[in-house]
Amino acid sequence: MSGPPSLRSRIRSATLLLLVLVAGAGAYALPRVFHLGGAIRETLYRNYKSIEAAHHMHAALGVLELAERDGRGAQELARQRERFMHWLDVEEHDFTEIGEPELARDIEQRANRLFDEIASAPPGVRHDREFDELHARLDDLVAMNQAAMFRADSRASRLGTRLTYEFAACLALLLVAGAALSWGLGWALTRPLTELAERLRGISQRHTQVRLGPQPLAELEAVAREFNEMAEQLEQYEKLNVERLLFEKSKTEAIIESLEDGVVLIDSHGVITHINEIAALILDIEPADALGSPFDDLSSNSPHYLRVRDALRALGRAGREAPRTEVQLHVRGRDHSYVLRPIPLRRADMEGVFGTLLILQDVTYLRDQDRARSNLVETLSHELRTPLTSLTLSAQLMRREEATLEPRQRELLRTVLEECTRMKQLIDNLLGLARGELASISLARERLDLARITDEVAGRFSLQLEDKQVRLDKHIVAVPPVSGDPVKLSWVVSNLVGNALRYTPRGGSIEVATSSSDDTVRLEVADTGPGIAPELRDYIFERFAQYGASGEEKGSAGLGLAIAKDIVMAHGGRIFVTGNTPTGSRFVVQLPAAREA
């Protein structure tokens, strides 16, 4: 039993009929159109060329005429005559109309006669009448070629009208044949395609049980067979996907619930789609009441929820440049610190945000450590005041008998007094740091010679340098004065040199240098120690930051560079660290030069 007719055979028969009709119409019309187009194009081109030549000859005569009026006719004659004769030669090789050769010869004779008269005429003589006659002959040449172009256009219009009617007849015949073929093919395709669309609509609505029956065309029969197989596979895939989605959902919820931080998942419309127990406890809300509700409009008056919501709104208004937001909440019988971290959710293949993951990170342990460390610093600072006061008083009593001391002893006594003053300033800074007051450093400003201060402070380390066998290279040059606090800036230099000595191995060297450029004074302290990794160079200026390498001794408390940075910033300067060559670190302090009074 033969199968249904092929759609290919039907389309092939209809296409062959249309091709025959089109080929016949083309064989009749194309040669005529080609011949007409070529003849008209050649005629119009040559007429246009003659008109263009006449315009250029007009232009040459115009330039020469103006030059004669200005008394420069003889100087301009040769160039314009050559230009005129060039375009006249173009015209003489492009005759297309009856009478055009005679007109061209007349123009040539008149032009030669005019050029000869201009060449032989004394200065001041004008030839306006000859110019006008020659312009008129050129206008005749233009008019002759324009008339020819109009005649060619008229012939083309008549022939085009006739070809239009002939093409219209061919098109009408093709339209009738195409309409008949389209109606026949449309009737054969409409019914099965409509049925296929209905079945596909059922698939889109998750009705995977739909199937297609027998089809009138072989191609549609193949489509129906593939569709039925696809529907069976989709039905199986849907069952598998549902089970997989349920498994992934359960796994994700288990991971979120196991986190010690609060997690709230918010969709692109601001609606809560998931909240773990920790987040519900922090916000003091019920998970069942929160799910499906907008986060900004929960039916809760809990102070915890209201504080987190307001902080999140402020964070959203500040944009990307917003600082980290931290809130204090009383949860489970004690105060807790939480950092709000809204994370936009994006797909790799899509633009825009499809949701937000709000994490309430518990940083209570870190804040407890900060408070304990601050209390320790404050206690130690208080405990150091008593022995330091006794040491200072003893040194001051010895200073009364300074005349009986040897020069070396007097130098050591002055060093002890200076170090006691510096240690007292350090203790005051430590207390301010522990109380959170270091950001507001008070300065006793005066005009200072930074080079002198640097030289004096570096000299105090002579005994330690000699004991550790470390060489001190001074490159201290005169620099413009700065406006600052002599005690605090001396402490900065002492801290940098002391750190360099601590990390420089035995037999190494330390470089201390001053320089200036424009309105900036620069202090550099470099060592040949193990150096500081690039990723730690910003971190070392934070409070309690310590570093060490290869067993090197660490700083005592990690406060020196933090205090030095705040002092430099209070002076309107900056401090940073770079690598030294070939090894070690180079600390750089930049301070603004003092303005002239």
**Per-residue pLDDT at 552:** 45
Domain boundary among 309, 333, 362: 362
**Per-residue pLDDT at 470:** 92
Residue 356 sits in the same domain as residue 429: no
The CATH code of the domain that includes 423 is: 1.10.287
Cα torsion 95, 96, 101, 103: sign = negative
State the Cα–Cα distance between residues 578 and 574, nearest whole angstrom: 13
562 occurs within a structural domain: yes
227 occurs within a structural domain: no
State the Cα–Cα distance between residues 534 and 277, nearest whole angstrom: 41
Domain boundary among 186, 213, 233: 186
Residue 18 sits in the same domain as residue 129: yes
Residue 43 sits in the same domain as residue 147: yes
142 occurs within a structural domain: yes
**Per-residue pLDDT at 493:** 92
222 occurs within a structural domain: no
Residue 564 sits in the same domain as residue 477: yes
The CATH code of the domain that includes 572 is: 3.30.565.10
State the Cα–Cα distance between residues 27 and 16, nearest whole angstrom: 16
Residue 428 sits in the same domain as residue 456: no
The CATH code of the domain that includes 114 is: 1.20.120
212 occurs within a structural domain: no
Residue 412 sits in the same domain as residue 474: no
**Per-residue pLDDT at 167:** 74
Residue 358 sits in the same domain as residue 375: no
The tally of domains found in the chain comes to 4
**Per-residue pLDDT at 448:** 92
**Per-residue pLDDT at 278:** 79
215 occurs within a structural domain: no
In the predicted model, residues of the chain with pLDDT beneath 50 are 1, 437-439, 549-553, 555
Residue 182 sits in the same domain as residue 56: yes
Cβ neighbourhood burial of 275 (10 Å; 0-12, 13-18, 19+) = buried
**Per-residue pLDDT at 545:** 62
Residue 169 sits in the same domain as residue 34: yes
Residue 393 sits in the same domain as residue 469: no
231 occurs within a structural domain: no
The CATH code of the domain that includes 353 is: 3.30.450.20
393 occurs within a structural domain: yes
Residue 64 sits in the same domain as residue 170: yes
Could you give phi then psi for residue 36, rounded to 5 degrees?
A: -65, -45
Structural domain containing residue 302: 259-362
**H or E stretch at 447:** strand 446-448
Domain boundary among 345, 362, 379: 362
Who's near 306: CB < 8 A, 6+ residues apart?
none
Residue 36 corresponds to which amino acid?
A: L
Residue 464 sits in the same domain as residue 421: no
**Per-residue pLDDT at 550:** 43
- The pTM of the full predicted model, rounded to 2 decimals, is 0.39
**Per-residue pLDDT at 555:** 47
